[in-house]
Amino acid sequence: MRPAGEPVVWDVSTPSGPARVHMHPVGHGRPRATVVLGHGVGRGVDSPDLVAIAEVLPEAGVEVALVEQPWRVRGQRLGGPAPTLDAAWVACLADLRSRGVGVRRLVAGGRSTGARVACRTVDRVRPDALLLLAFPVWPARTPAVLDPPSRLPELVAAARSVPTVVVQGTADRLGSPGEIAVELADEQITARVVPVPAADHSFAVRASAAHGRLPALELVVRAARATALRLVEGPY
């Protein structure tokens, strides 16, 4: 992967304070498509999968915007409630569109919590496709005595109306590709589930595994690139 160029960065006013957009434009000409991604709770827009996507896709003519939630901009360690995250995300997408970004061929999504935000706001953002990285089917750190609620209804509801690609590590303890694929099939929803062999929730791979982190990230990037270019080349 090539070294990333310096993104264009600006703040966006949201109901919970300034969010921050990190825009990675294409090198020349008009973009063929736009990918806008949100981050999770553990890390921000410096997550390895988000960084890799932002490095590579502009070479294919796809601009990438990474959205940093207000809580992260403020330097806090934990995010806010779902309505706060959703409102900030919607405000950032509106700001991007006001600048002519993502007005056509828009892929929205994110990793982990960012993927959930993209699902919950699909009716307000109205993207052309969804790209969900490490969707957290189950909440983390839930006591074993409880019956944790599945987040799959959020994914299912979004995938009913928008073409959806889910990229999931086979060793992700918060949800496997298999259980996502089974739920989508049970609901008779056509969506693509891309398994990343031996990868955990952050797409890290054990040193003893046959596939290392770099091949895992390359698989994530290929899925992101294919999702965006499928909009260009059509039909989806």
The domain of 47 spans: 8-233
CATH of the domain at 135: 3.40.50.1820
1 assigned to some structural domain: no
2 assigned to some structural domain: no
54 assigned to some structural domain: yes
34 assigned to some structural domain: yes
For each of the chain's 236 residues, which pLDDT tens digit applies?
A: 444 468 999 999 999 999 999 999 998 889 999 999 999 998 999 999 999 999 999 999 999 999 999 999 999 988 889 999 999 999 999 999 999 999 889 999 999 999 999 999 999 999 999 999 999 999 987 555 467 789 999 999 999 999 999 999 999 999 999 999 999 999 999 899 999 999 999 999 977 565 556 689 999 999 999 999 998 887 65
pTM: 0.93
224 assigned to some structural domain: yes
137 assigned to some structural domain: yes
State how many domains the chain has. Answer: 1
Q: What is the per-residue DSSP string for 83-141?
A: HHHHHHHHHHHHHHHHTTSSSSSEEEEEETHHHHHHHHTHHHH--SEEEEES--SS-TT
